Amino acid sequence: MKRILKKAGILLLVFLLGTAGTALLLNSESTDNRSDFNDAVFPEVMVDMNDTLINRMYGYAQPMQADFTRDSVTPLDTSKKLTFKVNPYDSEVKSFSYEIRTSDGSKVLENKKIKNLVKEDQYLSVDVEIGSDLRMNQEYSMQIALELDEGTAYYYTRVVSRSQVHASDYAAFVKYFYEACLDKESADALGSYLEPQTTGAATNYSGININSSLSEISWGNLAPQLCQEGIPVIKEINETTASVVLEYQLTSQNEDEETELYDVKEFYRMKYQDTRIYLLDFQRSANQVFDGTLPVYEDDGIILGVRDKNVEYMMNDAATVIAFVQEGDLWSYSPGNEKVNQVFSFRKLKDGDFRDSRTQHDIKIVRVTDEGDIDFVLYGYMNRGSHEGYEGIAVYHYNRDKNVVEERAFIPVSESFEFLKKDLEKLSYVNEKNELFLILAKNLYRINIEENSSEILEKGIKNANFVSSDNNDHAAWLVSEGDEKGNIKEIDFDTCKTRLIAPQKGQRLRTVGFMNEDLIYGMLNKEDILTDEEGHKSVGIRILRIEDFEGNVKKEYRKDGLYITDISVGNTLIEFELSAKSGETSYVAQKKDTIMNNKKAAANTVKIELISASRTGVRVKLVFNTTKQTDSPLTMYAKVSSSDRKDIVLDTQIPQEIAYYVYGQGGLDGIYTDPAKAVLRADTLGGVVLNRTQQYVWERGNKKTKMQIDTEEIPEIVLQGTYDIKTLKKSLKKTGTVIDLSGCSLDSVLYEISAQRPVIAKTGADTSVVIVGYDEYNTWLYDPVKKETYPYGMNDSTDLFQKAGNVFITYIETVNY
């Protein structure tokens, strides 16, 4: 009997050791078994600028809208010669062709095909000499096409002819700066470029800037190692300044010698003067790539690591599963059943490169069920797989039991990620009937995923008038055309029912937002829409109402004699100013007030906390009530099952309209219909403003020291000094587009003179001058009455125009190719 028990004990011990070993292996060596997610095959293309590689481009699977793809700007000197380097990886490049288009994409100016590419080390080299007569200071779209075994890959950059821009010097400085930051001794030389301001706050590596300390700039105690080196990408460049973005990857060892991975993005704004580069602005964001195998689990939550605090997350109603997005990856964590799942990622666990790790895409979590299934929408650039190189929108369903992500639909688009993001942040929702709702190109779409069909529910929706609830299951907008114009239309996407809110006679309505699932809207009278002397409108709301979908009023707010302005809607309260009318032109704030959200917190409430450690600085933690069962949950990686359905093709061509695009700090910041507001925003960012035809409307820091415009070359209607917009538009219809810059400063407006555009400036109730020149001390003003030009002191000019309301009108010439 003892021998039998002894033998049984040995067998039990072997079984337990085997089980423990298997569990350990599963936890520490999870396999990337997404065999159906093909490796990236498209090559990379770069510009060789005096032996420094710049402007890395990634391949698109289809031609893009030229005016909505502005990934980089490549300057041309007088020779108009460029050298391109192609990193083919494992692909065979059969030919290299290019075409130069007007930046709105309407006309091809030049195209050429090159079959003989020169092999240099791991790159293929191509020399291009552009023969077209390109205008100075005008952006053009350059499309490069590589013929591959897998098809054709398209690459885009903007080319612009500008003199003495020092592009290679800027690129070399950026490489020097970021490499020096990684070496404490070399970093000592960087102190003169910084403007440190002591705040006493803990180091936050996701928000480093030019005001950070030298220690923070050089990575403090993180001790990182370069994992994937960066290539400078020029976003803006002129004769005076340049803006450059750099993306790279770092690794760092934690206290247990485990490896952490960080995506880093840096923005540099620089000025070249007297053979030296000055750093005008610097920003760095480091974001940790989440790794489920690291010690990030605590009793009350999970540590996401170094990143910004705006986390996309959702917990199910049962509070058993939380899903979250980090650096383009989707994860789910189940504290109760000891599992963490990487639901979706383009990244390879081993032998990856920038093609699979770049994050020009985002994920919107739609639903997390009690069973742990997840519906989500992926949008942006597809790094690899069956849709590699497409910009698009994909709908996925994650089946937790099968650990498989199933593709339900794919919609290709032809605009770049930064434009697509503006729309998808407004709305992307999938209901339980498998219907997808999107705002694209100002249209509200309903897409039946099962039937692979689509319909437009509403046309011509303006983003400024469209609001949606936090989880996107309700939306409302101000109808802008047709019989229902002026009404608010609200829709419940789960039932597809709609309702109309009609204004009373003489009344106007405004959409404000949502609190929980209840619509917030404002009521005002026609006379509450005020117009100041500069032509800008401001709105004061008399009544603010919160109302559910059935029309039941949850809250109504008003203050007799005061108007509600500057409204901000948050998760927990609505903040606003109470203002009084100042004559018939503007509102003046009197005091602030708020409306609280009285809804009780649900059991599945998740909080975001900031914690700090000496090595990593500030980290983000998701805090919730569910208690973990283990410090090292099983890490699993889902398979991705592609759909055999046809892609859903929508008309996403954005209609021609007057629009002003503000680019700053490395990307598209906003789209405006008011050019003055666009200039004010660009001035704050240190950026530029482009119009729909991609002309430079305004640039920060690119004003010549002096300029004089010949009055004989100025249209007669401008010399008359009228600031009547309708009259100017009618007279200048064939010459150019009238631009109202009222409200901008004289210093900003002088850029237009520098660009040889005269500016009409109001000086009194019925008087005006035309600004035709300036130097260091004076403006040069043309008097429409006396028909003569005279100098006027700069300070006196500033005072004169300010007293008249800073009313400035100019025009931008029509480009004829």
Asked if residue 264 has pLDDT above 50, the reply is yes
- Long-range contacts of 677-680, Cβ-Cβ distance < 8 Å, separation of 24 or more: 677/743, 679/741, 679/744, 679/748, 680/743, 680/744, 680/748
- Looking at the chain, the whole-number percentage of residues with pLDDT higher than 90 is 82
Contact 274, 691 (CB under 8 A): no
Q: Which fold has domain 44-161?
A: Immunoglobulin-like (2.60.40)
Instruction: Please determine, looking at this structure, whether the domain spanning 167-288 carries the CATH number 3.40.50.10470.
Output: no
Q: Phi and psi for 677 in degrees, rounded to 5?
A: -65, -35
Task: For residues 400-416, give the mean pLDDT.
Answer: 95
Asked if residue 613 has pLDDT above 50, the reply is yes
Asked if residue 28 has pLDDT above 60, the reply is no
Classified as helix, coil or strand, 18 is helix
The two three-digit tokens of residue 92, written as one number: 């065979």
Task: For residues 298-305, give the mean pLDDT.
Answer: 94
Q: pLDDT digits over 750-785, tens only?
A: 999 999 999 999 999 899 999 999 999 999 999 999
Hey, which residues does 334 pair with through a beta bridge? Answer: 339
Task: For residues 166-188, give the mean pLDDT.
Answer: 97
Asked if residue 629 has pLDDT above 90, the reply is no
pLDDT band at 302 (very low <50, low <70, confident <90, very high): very high
Asked if residue 125 has pLDDT above 50, the reply is yes
pLDDT score, position 700:
94
pLDDT score, position 7:
41
Sign of the C-alpha dihedral computed for residues 621, 625, 626 and 629 taken in this order: positive
HSE-CB at 544 with a 13 A cutoff on CA atoms is 28
pLDDT score, position 661:
96
pLDDT band at 150 (very low <50, low <70, confident <90, very high): confident
User: Hey, where are the domains in the chain?
Assistant: 44-161, 167-288, 311-464+627-651, 656-698, 703-813
- CA-CA distance, 229 to 217, in Å (whole number)? 17
Question: Tokens 């004169």 sit at which residue?
Answer: 800
* Integer angstrom CA distances of residue 90 from 87, 149, 248: 9, 11, 22
- Looking at the chain, the whole-number percentage of residues with pLDDT higher than 70 is 94
Strand order in the sheet with 466-468: 466-468, 474-478, 488-492, 497-501
Contact 246, 177 (CB under 8 A): no
Task: For residues 407-416, give the mean pLDDT.
Answer: 95
First to last CA, the chain: 100
Question: Tokens 């929108």 sit at which residue?
Answer: 393
Asked if residue 327 has pLDDT above 90, the reply is yes
Hey, which residues does 341 pair with through a beta bridge? Answer: 332, 636
pLDDT band at 36 (very low <50, low <70, confident <90, very high): low
Question: May I ask the CATH class of domain 703-813?
Answer: alpha beta
- CA-CA distance, 366 to 376, in Å (whole number)? 5
Asked if residue 147 has pLDDT above 90, the reply is yes
pLDDT score, position 601:
60
User: Mean pLDDT score of the chain, rounded to an integer?
Assistant: 92
Sign of the C-alpha dihedral computed for residues 525, 531, 532 and 537 taken in this order: positive
pLDDT score, position 602:
62
The two three-digit tokens of residue 158, written as one number: 């903007």
pLDDT score, position 34:
43
pLDDT score, position 481:
86
* Integer angstrom CA distances of residue 137 from 234, 236, 812: 15, 12, 13
The two three-digit tokens of residue 184, written as one number: 């404490």
Contact 476, 521 (CB under 8 A): yes
* Residue 5 CB neighbours (<10 A): 9
* Integer angstrom CA distances of residue 64 from 43, 111, 379, 538: 17, 16, 16, 38
Asked if residue 35 has pLDDT above 60, the reply is no
pLDDT band at 654 (very low <50, low <70, confident <90, very high): confident
Angle between helix 675-685 and helix 746-754 axes, rounded to 10 deg:
100
Q: pLDDT digits over 452-500, tens only?
A: 999 999 998 988 899 999 999 999 999 988 899 999 999 999 999 999 9
Asked if residue 23 has pLDDT above 50, the reply is no
Q: Which helix (H) or strand (E) holds 175?
A: helix 167-181
